[in-house]
Structure 1
Amino acid sequence: MKRIVDITICFVFLLLPLSHFSQSNNQKETITKYFRHLRYNHVSPHVPLKGIHEISKETASKTSHYVFKYANSNKLVEIVNYNYHGKRHHPLATIGAHKIVFNYTDHDVTRIFLDINGNRMTNDRAVYKEVYKFDKKKFIYALDFYDLEDKPMESNWNITKYKWTKTKNMVIEHRYNLKDKLVDISPYFEFGITGIVYRKDGSPKINYNLNEKLEIRENSVGVASYRDTYDNNGNHITYSYHNKKGELTLNPWGYAVAKQEFDEFGYHTMRLQYDENNKLIKKFKYPNIRKISVASPASVEDTLAIKEMSLGYLIALQKLKPELMKRVFHKELAKRTIGYDRDNKKQIIRETSYDQMVSFAESWNQSGTKFPPKPSNNIKILDIYDHIATVKLFSDNWVEYLHLTKTNGQWQIINLLWQDKNSSRYAD
């Protein structure tokens, strides 16, 4: 297997932008920029953080965004995370913390992570502090993770340090755990030593899986590289998986290519997955998160189903119908009431499980004396919104508030809070 020498891409070693290097943290001048998104990265923490889809301060006040603060015109000193649209968290692609603070020396840059109250917290890599080291030519050659006591710690991918070296065509990455053993790029993707090829704009183009001789090799499912394409706005529009010959091959999740579509503001609208023959196999359409679609009024069918399930709970108890009880209650049921602890002489909360309720439906009213001969079961639907509803039940014995949820087309009771109808039983 020959050493990689035939990569024809014009490669420029990745350096931290000039904004990352300064002899002082003196912030004589601060520039603030606002971005809707971060450039997506699933390659390496060696890839620099970059904001994309820049917006004005006024626009930022009305939408999800990131704030980048620079000192002395070009040195990144802080990123504030106001991205509240529920983006999927990824240890390489998202921040996780409310704020990143950057501190610089002549040979390293430290990142710490803060919550909304200014307290230290972990980021999406589950570490408290990151220290990037660079050489005299400003090439990043190491990253170390630390806990709150400045002791080395492992990330949620079992990595405590990264080491990078450069060849003519790529940046070579090694990752180590606390035992100083080499680990894969992540627990769910089998790439050991990797070789990153960058474009001139600093975006990653190819990530190779390499052996100790820095030769391309395939992992156990036949993947030897994955490749990324970004559009002019920085959107991550294509990623694909290849064997050592450069041919498309299936990844561990059963597809070879993913193509992504974005709206004018950089939000996902569509993802298309293809096999190794470029045949479409899956299509995902993302909801428009910029424009909330308010649910339509509840249908007659939903209203009747909610009433049926709510009353069904009482009927199951009264008429000994455990199968009905199984149907009306969700298995994650939380049923609670106020009880009394006689030993400690105070009111407490008592809980009843799904299994207990099914058992009660089998035998609790066998004698027929738990309810009047003609029970009074009354219901008032307080509110219905799309897949959730609130109901009030008042029967001969109890007053109850129910939460119902519609999953897989079926309404079920998931929360139930009740007390005895006779309020004199609860002496304050």
Structure 2
Amino acid sequence: MISLFMLLLSVFSIHAEENLQERYFRNLRYNHVSPHVDIKGIHEIDAQEAARSAHYVFKYTADNQLAEIINHNYHRIKRHPLATIGAYRTVFSYDTNSETRMFFDINGNRMTNDRGVYKEVYTYDKKGFKYALDFYDENDQPMNSNWNISTYRWSKNKKLVIEKRYDLGNTLMDISPYFEFGITGILYRKDGSPKCNYNLNEQLKITANNVGVASYSDVYDQNGNHVEFSYQDEKGKLTNNQWKYAKAVQQFNDKGELVHIQRYDKDGKLLGDVNFPAPSAIKIAPSVSKKDSLEIKEKALGYLIALQELKPELMSSVFHPDLAKRTFRNDWKTKKDSIHETTYKEMVSFAESWNKSGTKFPPKPSNQAIILDVYHRIATVKLVSDNWVEYLHLVKTNEQWNIINLLWQYKNINRYPKGR
């Protein structure tokens, strides 16, 4: 049964939708620090550009409160779990001192976000300071996130926001399952971006974790891109993290897409220099080469030749080991069709003996391979012989074309029940 709260929320959303103002952003500001950091859209675009590219839709009420975020980021750029939403639609509602976030799929059904929770409730004090976050399941019961955190608690200490995290058993939890930071102190810039995140002991003194990291720092450019992050020891000097690097410098294109990253150790030695293809820079495959066309036809016909001439080595070379070969059969009693599968190993075995008598094919078989389409490293071929009509999918791996999918039926349709 739908709760009264959910019903009122739905009614509110329907009526409020008409008055919401929309803004479009290519990306979200990167955040690997805390859910205390506000969600922020970066690289704003107009509606026309949004219609032809991946983006997020931020919807605001008349008094500029964030009401919804619609996730159209279909490029699936790899992000930190704290900097993603996961759900198609995130709905924000507000009470006197609280903000509630709920998550919905594209069909309007409730779902979990990237932290594995159904509902997030933030609580604010009278001065507007965000001091608590609690997670709830679909029945509004407290729950642990996928990091085994049920609640966050924040307080102020001089320039730092102190963060503590607890599970349902009130056990103090690390910042994440893979990074040992217990109590932390967040230092913000004036623009709300996180500048440094410190590991603190119970006396709120900066202390190193088990690999010697006491803090990590972030740098953002004027467009909100996360251009640099680094790890420091208790004295503020660069130190290697558990992944054996101390600093990373990132470059972004004009759309805010990561295209280059360099990693350095604590002594400034370059450890890695990697370029990334921009998700929006779509390169269309050129026309198929003559060499590829010849090989595709050769592999398609090679399958039939292997059967006809008893050549198991040829059969093994034309098929991919993950071959899926299928046809349909009909039960004359039940009049029901079923799918029959043949494996790669069975096909190689058939090539050894299936036509041993030499009577399975005409003396001069009429094998015809028609290439229907080729796109880069995948191809579709129609194969017609005296016996069968077959549709083949080929894939090019390790510079070699192979048949990976094959669907066939008998050429003579009289072999099937009439009317089918």
- 1:383 matched to which residue of 2? 373
Deviation at 1:59, TM superposition (A): 3.2
1:291-325 per-residue CA deviation (whole Å, 9 max, x = no partner) reads 43221111222223322332333344445555544
Cα 1:362/1:108, change in 2 over 3 Å:
farther
Secondary structure of 1:338 counterpart: strand
Deviation at 1:270, TM superposition (A): 1.9
The alignment status of 1:133 with 2:123, answered yes or no, reads yes
The alignment status of 1:116 with 2:106, answered yes or no, reads yes
Q: Residue 246 of structure 2 is aligned with which of 256, 260, 279?
A: 256
Cα 1:347/1:65, change in 2 over 3 Å:
same
Q: Residue 209 of structure 1 is aligned with which of 190, 196, 199?
A: 199
Alpha-carbon distance in 2 for matches of 1:364, 1:161: 67
The alignment status of 1:423 with 2:386, answered yes or no, reads no
- 1:48 matched to which residue of 2? 38
TM-score normalised by structure 2 residue count: 0.85
Cα 1:395/1:275, change in 2 over 3 Å:
farther
What are structure 1's unaligned runs of at least 5 residues? Answer: 1-23
Judge which range, 295-304 or 361-370, deviates more: 361-370
Cα 1:333/1:276, change in 2 over 3 Å:
farther
- 2:264 matched to which residue of 1? 274
The alignment status of 1:38 with 2:28, answered yes or no, reads yes
Deviation at 1:410, TM superposition (A): 2.6
- Once the two structures are superposed, the pairs formed by residues 2-401 of structure 1 within 5 Å of their partners are 30-341=20-331, 344-361=334-351, 364-365=354-355, 369-372=359-362, 374-401=364-391
Judge which range, 381-390 or 85-94, deviates more: 85-94
Secondary structure of 2:230 counterpart: strand
Deviation at 1:108, TM superposition (A): 1.6
Partner AA of 2:258 in structure 1:
H
Alpha-carbon distance in 1 for matches of 2:347, 2:240: 47
Paired positions, count: 405
Alpha-carbon distance in 2 for matches of 1:195, 1:317: 71
1:362-411 per-residue CA deviation (whole Å, 9 max, x = no partner) reads 55455555445554432111111112111111223322111122233232
CA RMSD of aligned residues (A): 2.9
CA contact (8 A) 1:226 1:242 kept: yes
Alpha-carbon distance in 1 for matches of 2:208, 2:360: 69
Deviation at 1:46, TM superposition (A): 1.2
Partner AA of 1:422 in structure 2:
N
CA contact (8 A) 2:262 2:273 kept: yes
Judge which range, 191-200 or 37-46, deviates more: 191-200
CA contact (8 A) 2:30 2:80 kept: no
Judge which range, 364-373 or 35-44, deviates more: 364-373
Secondary structure of 1:301 counterpart: helix
Cα 1:314/1:59, change in 2 over 3 Å:
same
Deviation at 1:178, TM superposition (A): 3.9
- 1:5 matched to which residue of 2? none
Alpha-carbon distance in 1 for matches of 2:21, 2:198: 37
CA contact (8 A) 1:320 1:366 kept: yes
CA contact (8 A) 1:89 1:96 kept: no
Secondary structure of 2:143 counterpart: coil
CA contact (8 A) 1:193 1:212 kept: yes
Partner AA of 1:419 in structure 2:
Q
Deviation at 1:203, TM superposition (A): 0.7
Deviation at 1:30, TM superposition (A): 4.0
Partner AA of 1:227 in structure 2:
S
Judge which range, 417-426 or 207-216, deviates more: 207-216
Cα 1:107/1:282, change in 2 over 3 Å:
same
Judge which range, 24-33 or 95-104, deviates more: 24-33
CA contact (8 A) 1:133 1:140 kept: yes
1:240-291 per-residue CA deviation (whole Å, 9 max, x = no partner) reads 2233333333334443322111222322232222233323332332324444
Deviation at 1:160, TM superposition (A): 2.8
Secondary structure of 2:108 counterpart: coil
CA contact (8 A) 1:256 1:273 kept: yes
- 1:404 matched to which residue of 2? 394
Cα 1:328/1:196, change in 2 over 3 Å:
farther
Cα 1:222/1:389, change in 2 over 3 Å:
farther
Alpha-carbon distance in 2 for matches of 1:309, 1:249: 55
Alpha-carbon distance in 2 for matches of 1:331, 1:174: 52
Partner AA of 2:385 in structure 1:
S
Alpha-carbon distance in 2 for matches of 1:222, 1:313: 60
Partner AA of 1:400 in structure 2:
E
Partner AA of 1:309 in structure 2:
K
Partner AA of 1:145 in structure 2:
F
Deviation at 1:39, TM superposition (A): 0.7
Alpha-carbon distance in 2 for matches of 1:213, 1:387: 60
Secondary structure of 1:276 counterpart: coil
1:164-189 per-residue CA deviation (whole Å, 9 max, x = no partner) reads 23322322323333444344333333
Cα 1:355/1:192, change in 2 over 3 Å:
farther
Cα 1:278/1:72, change in 2 over 3 Å:
same
